[in-house]
A and B are shown apart, each in its own frame.
Chain A
Amino acid sequence: MVRTALAVLVIDENRIRAAIIEAGLREAGHERVTVIHDVTGIARRIAEIEPDVIVIDLENPNRDMLENMFQLSRAVKRPIAMFVDRSDQASIEAAVDAGVSAYVVDGLRQERVKPILDMAVSRFNAFSRMACELEEARSELESRKVIDRAKGILMKSRGLSEEAAYTLLRKTAMNQNRKIGDIAQSLVTAAGLLGPAEDE
């Protein structure tokens, strides 16, 4: 399958995501992968690396600078265009939806590049899902901490056992049709307002 191996440059300020993309490219057999997190001095790096494909995240505020550099192509011996086969609207949409864009050197055949873009899109999507799950886990943890504090307040102020305090929180949540974390948060807030400060 391999003619000359394609040189791929990944520009992403998010180191974790960049590592995920890099791993994907290597798994797919791409040996010549370079990852850049910081665009300072990028013209020189591009001249050294001579990438065939450049993958960049859409959050990167330097896209305008990079596109201009690609067009001037003084720094980049070979002209670089955005990866667009204007007929392939679905690919473009998938990339923008995923938050990634790719640029390829002029004359590179579509079928050699498309697997790279497809891989980047799927890895970007996987990363977003992961970040989302991480956020959920974090808020779950937060809510558990708040419940513990609410239990502590109830145990102290009403002389309840830990189990009784939890049962009271759960019953209140059910009666009010709210989440137990929300009830706990209200209690902690109210205690803080009425308190002698329970903490701090």
Chain B
Amino acid sequence: MRNPEQILGIIFQLTQLLLVVLAAPLLTGWVGQCQAWLQNRSGAGLLQPYRVLNKLFHKDAVIADNASWLFRITPYIVFGCMWLAAAIIPIIAVDLPFSRAADVIALVGVFALARMFIALAAMDIGTSFGSMGARREMLVSFLAEPALLMVLFTASLISQSTQLTHIVETFAHHRFILYPSLAFAGIAFVMILLAENARIPVDNPSTHLELTMIHEAMILEYSARHLALIEWASSLKLFAYLSVGIALFLPHGMIEVGNWAGLPLAMGLLCGKMLLAGAGLALLEASMAKMRIFRAPEFLGTAFLLGVLGLLIHFLLGA
């Protein structure tokens, strides 16, 4: 039954699966390094996330006394979801075999699934910080998630498909046409990316300041391999979000499955785009201050409205 094309597709899919999981911490390292440079520090180097992960995996896990099974399986679920999400977004080749099983709405669903579990796990121990983190995370997400959907809908309406593969193909073929709706969507997407990846100005991944932390408050009780998996999942999430951004706004240069000749170029382009996106992210973060938690809904509300506006413009102008 299986023809060579399908086997090739599976090979490409598995390669991407492997590639993203190995490369994701590198991206985090790159963002950190850029930030260090922007702050006139020498920085810890690109490989720092790998060192941290290795250290964490070697340690013995300490689990709180009243932790339940939910607390223990959550790191694996979160890691699995994020890995899957990063693996189904076209980054090098389009039309990967798994992309049919999950379109953009399902992609948002995967992110939501992971978030739900991590919020529940945060409440599992029953500490004040845990439930505070869960509450804030859900607060951020209940505005960020529909905003993300709006952005993806705008892209879906333009390309007449909710499949990322088709969205990428549509945009890649229309060379440098600026869709006014996509311009709004683009701004909204950057804001969501900052919020969903626990970045400044919504959250700060590098502090444990009680009053401001969101993501870190949720994972306070995790240690060793569980913490490593969650950190790795965060890297994967950032990678996945940047991949979505690239797929929506800079999809040029992706190849079809089986196009070996174009592979080196596509890889090179991906690296270039990721480096650029990572540096841009660092620059954005360096230029902003962390905002109060109750300003976050305003920030995300703006993102949501921009997303809706993009959608509305598409409905009105058809572009």
A in complex with B: no
